[in-house]
Chain A
Amino acid sequence: MTRGNIIGMFAAALLVVAHGCAAPQPSPDLLAPTEAQLKIRSIQTRSFDVKERQVAMRGVIAALQDLGFIIERANESLGLVTAARFAEPNYYDVVGVTVTVRPETEGKMTVRANAIYNNKPIDDPKVYQNFFATLERSLFVAKH
C-alpha cells in the first residue's frame, strides 16, 4: 500500500464523515400548499342545494349505506361521517372514507369526501364523481 493510497482512503473517509455532519435542512415550503393539493381538494369537494346540515348528513349516510359501507362514526355538530368497508369481493383491501358537511352560503352545503384505499389516499377523480353521483341521488330521494 503506497502513501498515496492511504491519503486517498483518509480523504474518502473524511468526505463521508463531513457529509454526515451536515443536517438536512427542511425546505421552507414544506407545509405550503401545492398545486396537487388544491387539485385534489376541488375533486373531493362539491356543493349541494340543501338548507340544513342534518338533511345533508342523512343523505351522506344513506349514500354510504347504499354503497355497502359500515358507518363507524357520525358527529352531527361537526358534520362528520366516517365509514369503512372491505373491497368485496376481495377481502384483503380496506376502503375508508371520511365525509364532512359544512354550510357554505344560505341554502348551500359543501360536502368534502376523503377516501383511502389501504391507508393510501385515493386521488382518482372518477371515484369521487361516482360518490357524488350516488349522494346526489340519495339527496334527491330524500327531498321528494
Chain B
Amino acid sequence: MRSWIAAASGLALAVQIAGCVTPTQPDELFQLKAESAANRAMQTRGFETRDETELLSASAAVLQDLGFQVEESVREVGFLRATKERSAREHGQDITRFLVFLLSTGLIFVQQPPIVLPVDLHQKIAATLITRPVNPESTRQEVRVVFYRVVWKGDGSSGQQAIPPGEQRMEMLRDPVLYQTFFAKLSKAVFLEPFAL
C-alpha cells in the first residue's frame, strides 16, 4: 500500500515537474492572440503633446522612481528598456512546500526521503517602453509600457532525485493596477492628462 502511495505521489510530482503544457508550435508563435488587443489597451495611454523627447525622459524618471535601472535607450524611435531585481519569495509557496514535505514524510518507511518542492527565489522585472506619435502632425503621442518578469526557482528533491536550482520562467505582468499606477505617475510628471486609445 505504502509503495503504491509513494509511486503515485512520485508520478504526480514527476508530471508536475515535467510540465503538462504542450510546447507551442513555432508556426503559431507570431500570431496575435485574442488577448493581444486587451493587453495593448491596458499598456497604452495617449498624451496631448508634441514633445516626444520630454515624454521619454519623464518616463525614464518614473521608471527610476519605481526602482528600475535604465539599460537601453534610443531616442530616435522612442525606446527605453529598464530592469530591476527583487526577491520572489511568497509565503503561500513556502507553506505548500512545508505541507508537501510533511505529508510525504511517510515515504521514509519505504526508504525514500520526503519530497521537497522547489519555490520561487529570485525575479528580474523588465520594462520596455515605447513612445510614438499617433497622428501624422505628431500633436499626440502614445506611450506603451510592458512589464515582464523572469523568475528563478530554488532547489528541491523528489525521491532520490535532486532537482537542481535555477529553473526559470518568464511571464508578462498582467495586473492592470500596475499599469494604472505607472501612468498616474507619468501623467503627474509631464503635467498632462492621459487618455485611453
For chain B, residues 13 to 44, give those with C-beta under 8 angstroms from any C-beta of chain A: 19, 21-24, 26-32, 36, 39-40, 43
Q: Is B30 a contact partner of A71 (Cβ separation < 8 A)?
A: no
Q: Which residues of B line the A interface, CB within 8 A?
A: 19, 21-24, 26-32, 36, 39-40, 43, 72, 74, 76-79, 81, 126, 128, 130, 132, 136, 144, 146, 148, 168-172
Chain A contacts for B132, CB-based, 8 A: 58, 61-62, 142
Given contacts A71-B130, A130-B31, contact A54 B23 (CB under 8 A): no
Chain A contacts for B79, CB-based, 8 A: 61, 71, 74
Chain A contacts for B32, CB-based, 8 A: 66-67, 134
Chain B contacts for A140, CB-based, 8 A: none
Q: Is A86 an interface residue (CB 8 A)?
A: yes
The 4 closest A-B pairs by CB, nearest first: A91-B169, A76-B76, A130-B30, A86-B170
Q: Is A117 a contact partner of B130 (Cβ separation < 8 A)?
A: no
Q: Which residues of A line the B interface, CB within 8 A?
A: 54, 57-58, 61-62, 65-68, 70-77, 85-93, 95, 115, 117, 122, 124, 126-128, 130-131, 134, 142-143
Chain B interface main SS type = mixed
Residue in contact with B168 in the complex, picked from A68, A74, A76, A91, CB distance below 8 Å: A91
Residue in contact with B128 in the complex, picked from A65, A93, A131, CB distance below 8 Å: A65
Chain B contacts for A66, CB-based, 8 A: 32, 36, 40
9 CB-based A-B contacts, threshold 8 Å: A58-B78, A58-B132, A61-B130, A62-B132, A67-B36, A74-B77, A85-B170, A87-B24, A90-B19
Chain A interface main SS type = mixed
Residue in contact with B24 in the complex, picked from A57, A65, A76, A89, CB distance below 8 Å: A89
* B74 shortest CB reach to chain A, Å: 5
